[in-house]
Structure 1
Amino acid sequence: MQRAYSILAAAIAGTLASTVAIAQAEQAAPNKAPADAFIEQLDTDGDGKVSLEEAVAPQKARFDETDLNGDGFVDAEEAGTAFNEQVPEEMLKAMEERGMPDPGETFVKNLDENGDGKIDRGEFEAPTVASFERMDTNDDGVATNEEATAFFEDMQQRMQEQMQKMQQQKGAVPQQ
């Protein structure tokens, strides 16, 4: 359920890659720090670091899984199908009851850089690439445990601040 909330928040906020990275790291090794789990999960060559290629590999696979018709693009329907397969039914019902926007359409809207109404592989991978580039603070092409720790701590801090703002806004709205 925690992973589903992370995915939902990411889709709505447009920060899918970063939030999913945290959720995947926590799911892969729930008793480890997110940076340790991140490196353990993605370090396929065993050097104790994560390269951009290693970081993007899961996104490449996820794109292929999500592109149901194999046309090289992910549209809102395909993104919605993938979302619906990952989120519990009760959460989907609650989203619908609250009139929340369609997750597939939201996902495409947030990642569609060229405005063609669909996501190509580059657009799909762009948030992961951007997150990796923020993580790799010394620009050496790999993310170390130290860099990953700082990145995840910053992400958690920003998410907490955003949640506090949302809570404050919710409290400021008059109830009818």
Structure 2
Amino acid sequence: MQRAASILAIAIAGTFVTSLSVAQDDAPAPTKPADAFIQQLDTDGDGKVSLEEALAPQKPRFTETDTDGDGFISMEEASTAFNNQVPAEMLEAMKERGMPDPGETFVKNLDKDGDGKVSPAEFEQPTVESFERMDADSDGFATNEEATAFFEEMQRQMQEQMQKMQQMQQQQEGAAGPQQ
């Protein structure tokens, strides 16, 4: 469970970086994830990001994904959202490797009360947890320095995960022996 939580945290950090990489029209594109994080989410211009600012993009994403408007994201809605956003060939490769449906995984990872769907609070929880880790001094704001440290740690963890995955793949290939 701890491993799933770390993978989810890494995915959330990746989402931060990916969703923040779009530069504003009047500003040069930031070169570091922390710069993009501050530039895109610091809506009041104070040079730091509050939890409210970090959560602001989550609200429209939730509403967009909750296509039936019942206030929850079901596995079907999550699957549809992934199918609309992830290239078909990537989804097919995941399926060929026996990986579960990303919508199902999404709901299973976020559904803390076990009701089979994701509430707005459950949807926001990974961002809240990531923000709390980023806000090293617990003052309610993430500064550029704190964001830099957070993203550097996420990058380190992703590299570590990739190395472990490569080692596992090499071990599996070695155990299978030479193919004839």
TM-score relative to the length of structure 1: 0.88
Give the C-alpha shift of residue 32 in structure 1: 1.1
- In 2: Cα distance, 1:30 partner to 1:43 partner: 15
Note if 1:18 corresponds to 2:19. no
Change over 3 Å in CA distance of 1:52–1:31 after alignment to 2: closer
How do 1:67-82 and structure 2 match up within 5 A? 67-82=66-81
Three-state SS of the structure 1 residue aligned to 2:104 is helix
Letter in 1 for 2:171: A
Could you say which structure has the larger radius of gyration? 2
CA contact (8 A) 1:135 1:151 kept: yes
Post-superposition CA distance 1:126-151 (Å, at most 9, x none): 00000000000111111000000000
Note if 1:113 corresponds to 2:112. yes
Three-state SS of the structure 2 residue aligned to 1:74 is coil
Give the C-alpha shift of residue 155 in structure 1: 0.4
- The answer for the alignment partner of 2:171 in structure 1 is 172
CA contact (8 A) 2:17 2:36 kept: no
Letter in 2 for 1:70: G
The runs of 5 or more residues in structure 2 that have no matched partner are none
Give the C-alpha shift of residue 123 in structure 1: 0.3
- The answer for the alignment partner of 1:47 in structure 2 is 46
Letter in 2 for 1:156: Q
- In 1: Cα distance, 2:139 partner to 2:171 partner: 46
- In 1: Cα distance, 2:89 partner to 2:79 partner: 16
> How many pairs are equivalent?
166
Three-state SS of the structure 2 residue aligned to 1:116 is coil
Give aligned-pair identity as a percent: 65
- The answer for the alignment partner of 1:138 in structure 2 is 137
Change over 3 Å in CA distance of 1:172–1:27 after alignment to 2: farther
- In 2: Cα distance, 1:14 partner to 1:150 partner: 18
- In 2: Cα distance, 1:30 partner to 1:106 partner: 33
Give the C-alpha shift of residue 95 in structure 1: 1.6
Three-state SS of the structure 2 residue aligned to 1:14 is helix
- In 2: Cα distance, 1:168 partner to 1:64 partner: 40
TM-score relative to the length of structure 2: 0.86
The runs of 5 or more residues in structure 1 that have no matched partner are 1-9
- The answer for the alignment partner of 1:60 in structure 2 is 59
- In 2: Cα distance, 1:95 partner to 1:57 partner: 31
CA contact (8 A) 1:18 1:127 kept: no
Letter in 1 for 2:142: A
CA contact (8 A) 1:73 1:121 kept: yes
Three-state SS of the structure 1 residue aligned to 2:163 is helix
Three-state SS of the structure 1 residue aligned to 2:146 is helix
Post-superposition CA distance 1:85-131 (Å, at most 9, x none): 11112112212222210111000000010111100000000000000
- The answer for the alignment partner of 2:151 in structure 1 is 152
- The answer for the alignment partner of 2:33 in structure 1 is 34
